[in-house]
Amino acid sequence: DIQMTQSPSSLSASVGDRVTISCRASQSISTSLNWYQQKPGKAPNLLIYGASTLQSGVPSRFSGSGSETDFTLTISSLQPEDFATYYCQHSYNIFWKFGQGTKVEIK
């Protein structure tokens, strides 16, 4: 099983801040890495796939990078609507796994 580990588990930030979330895979997954945003009581929403491809309709302040085992989601300038929980997910093999999530809270 490929395990996904996100850090930090939570963070506090202010509107306008640059925010970085890390995701590490327990083995190489090339660039088969997706990022999702989830707001309370709602289904997750795809932000980035293939480690760095922005899903259609997602604001350009979101970006993704990385390969093999280490990946990063960056929000260049945090907006009020970005306070949410973010999950990474690998799609490298049949058994997709999510990271445990990173909750972005208002400072």
**Span of 14-22, 65-73, 76-84, 94-102 interacting with another protein by CB under 8 A:** 94-102
Per-residue x/- track, 14-53, another protein (CB under 8 A): -----------------xx-x-x-x---xxxxx--xx--x
Query: Which DSSP letter does residue 55 get?
Result: P
Rule CB under 8 A: say whether 65 interacts with another protein: no
Count of helix runs (H) and strand runs (E) in the chain: 0, 11
Rule CB under 8 A: say whether 86 interacts with another protein: no
